[in-house]
Amino acid sequence: MGRRIAPLVLAAIPTLALSLAIPFVNRFEPSLGGAPFLLVWIVAWVLATPFMLYAAFRLQQRV
């Protein structure tokens, strides 16, 4: 992957996971600690986004 494209892909993944993917994860099971899968999915991606943007940042700097 090109070094200009890779950061865009890294940012696009959480963007899609938290928007267009929502209809596919809108269910209760499998739940975790009483939380519906929908909420688990969202929180996981909210937590992952800073790491993915940080990776994008480092890749950009190497250009």
Minimum distance from CB of 3 to other proteins (Å)? 14
Minimum distance from CB of 31 to other proteins (Å)? 8
Q: Does 9 bind other proteins (CB under 8 A)?
A: no
- Asked whether the beta carbons of 27 and 37 are under 8 A apart, the reply is yes
Position among 38, 44, 62, 63 found at the interface with other proteins (CB under 8 A): 38
Kind and range of the H or E run holding 8: helix 5-17
Q: Does 8 bind other proteins (CB under 8 A)?
A: yes
Position among 19, 30, 62, 63 found at the interface with other proteins (CB under 8 A): 19
For residue 15, CA distances in Å to 19, 31, 32, 53 come to 6, 23, 23, 11
